[in-house]
Structure 1
Amino acid sequence: MTNNYEYMNESSIDISLKCVICSDPYVNPCSTPCDHTFCRSCIIKWIEENDRCPACRKKPITIQSLRATDRIVFDIVDRLLVRCRACRQSNIQRGNYDEHYNKYCSNTFVSCSAADLKCSWQGPRDKLQDHLTVCHYEMMRPLLGNLVNTVNTLNEKVQQYENQSKEHENRINSLESENARLKDEVNLLKGFCTKQNPNVDHNPRLEEILSRCHSYSTVMLNDLRLDNFDIPYIIRKVLIVKQCSVLNLSNNLIEVTGFELLANALRSNVTLKRLSLKGNRAQLKGVEYLATALITNSTLEVLELETNSIPDTAAYSLADMLRRNHTLKDLFLGYNDIESRGMEIMANALDHKSTLEILSLAGNKLNDKCIDALHRMININQKLQRLYLHENGLSLEGKTRLLHIVNAKKGFTLNI
Structure 2
Amino acid sequence: MEIDNYYDYIDLESIDNSLICNKCSMPLTEPVISLCHHTFCRQCVETPFDDDHLHCSSCNESYLTKHLIPVMDSSILAALDQIPVRCKLCNESNIQRGNFQNHINKMCRKAIVSCPRRDKSCPWIGLREELRTHLIPCASESLTLNTETHESIDDTCDIYGVLEESHGEFLPHSNVNLLRRNFQNQDIAIAVKALLINKRCTYLDLFNRGITSEGASIIASALYDDKLLETLGFRNNLICDSGVQHLAHALMANSYLQRLDLNNNSITDTGVRLLADMLRTNKTLIKLTLSYNRIGNEGMDILADLLINYNSTLQWLSLTGNSEINDSSSHSITNLVRHNQSLTTFNLEDCGLSWWSKAQIYFYQTIYFKSALDLLL
Query: Which category describes the TM-score, using the shorter chain as reference length?
Result: 0.5 to 0.7
What's 1:247 paired with?
204
Given candidates 311, 314, 321, the residue that maps to 1:356 is 314
Given candidates 278, 281, 291, the residue that maps to 1:334 is 291
What's 1:293 paired with?
250
What's 2:192 paired with?
234
Change (3 A) 1:196 1:345: same
Whether 1:198 and 2:156 are equivalent positions in the alignment is no
- Give the alignment's Cα RMSD to 1 decimal: 2.9
Measure how far apart 1:204 and its partner are.
5.2
Question: Given residue 117 of structure 2, which amino acid in structure 1 is its aligned partner?
Answer: N
**How far, CA to CA, are the matches of 2:124 and 2:114 in structure 1?**
17
Question: Given residue 259 of structure 1, which amino acid in structure 2 is its aligned partner?
Answer: A
What's 1:307 paired with?
264
Measure how far apart 1:351 and its partner are.
2.8
Change (3 A) 1:197 1:214: closer
Measure how far apart 1:303 and its partner are.
0.3
**How far, CA to CA, are the matches of 1:404 and 1:223 in structure 2?**
51
Structure 1, residues 102-131: CA drift from partner, whole Å, max 9, x if none?
xxxxxxxxxxxxxxxxxxxxxxxxxxxxxx
What's 1:344 paired with?
301
Q: Confirm or deny: 8 A CA contact 1:214 1:242 kept in the other structure.
A: no
What's 2:328 paired with?
369
- Equivalent residue of 1:373, what SS? helix
Q: Confirm or deny: 8 A CA contact 2:263 2:289 kept in the other structure.
A: yes
Measure how far apart 1:226 and its partner are.
5.0
**How far, CA to CA, are the matches of 2:281 and 2:228 in structure 1?**
20
Gaps of 5+ in 1: 1-194
Given candidates 339, 346, 350, the residue that maps to 1:391 is 350
Q: Confirm or deny: 8 A CA contact 2:125 2:190 kept in the other structure.
A: no
**How far, CA to CA, are the matches of 2:123 and 2:240 in structure 1?**
29
Q: TM-score, normalised by structure 1?
A: 0.48
Change (3 A) 1:375 1:324: same
**How far, CA to CA, are the matches of 1:333 and 1:240 in structure 2?**
26
User: Which structure's CA Rg is the greater one?
Assistant: 1
Measure how far apart 1:360 and its partner are.
0.3
Q: TM-score, normalised by structure 2?
A: 0.53
Count of residues in correspondence between the two structures:
217
Structure 1, residues 148-179: CA drift from partner, whole Å, max 9, x if none?
xxxxxxxxxxxxxxxxxxxxxxxxxxxxxxxx
- Equivalent residue of 1:350, what SS? helix
Gaps of 5+ in 2: 1-112, 127-169
Structure 1, residues 21-77: CA drift from partner, whole Å, max 9, x if none?
xxxxxxxxxxxxxxxxxxxxxxxxxxxxxxxxxxxxxxxxxxxxxxxxxxxxxxxxx
- Equivalent residue of 2:288, what SS? strand
**How far, CA to CA, are the matches of 1:274 and 1:321 in structure 2?**
17
**How far, CA to CA, are the matches of 1:415 and 1:327 in structure 2?**
24
- Equivalent residue of 2:272, what SS? helix
Structure 1, residues 6-31: CA drift from partner, whole Å, max 9, x if none?
xxxxxxxxxxxxxxxxxxxxxxxxxx
Worse-superposed segment, 348-357 or 310-319: 348-357
- Equivalent residue of 2:335, what SS? helix
- List, as ranges, runs of 4+ consecutive aligned residues in structure 1 with deviation greater than 3 Å: 199-207, 210-215, 219-227
Change (3 A) 1:308 1:242: same
Report 1:17-416 matches (<5 A).
Answer: 198-200=116-118, 214=174, 221=179, 227-236=185-194, 238-351=195-308, 353-364=311-322, 365-407=324-366, 408-416=369-377
Question: Given residue 230 of structure 1, which amino acid in structure 2 is its aligned partner?
Answer: I
Question: Given residue 231 of structure 2, which amino acid in structure 1 is its aligned partner?
Answer: R
RCO greater where, 1 or 2, for CA within 8 Å and sep 6 or more?
Answer: 2
Q: Confirm or deny: 8 A CA contact 2:296 2:325 kept in the other structure.
A: yes
Measure how far apart 1:336 and its partner are.
0.4
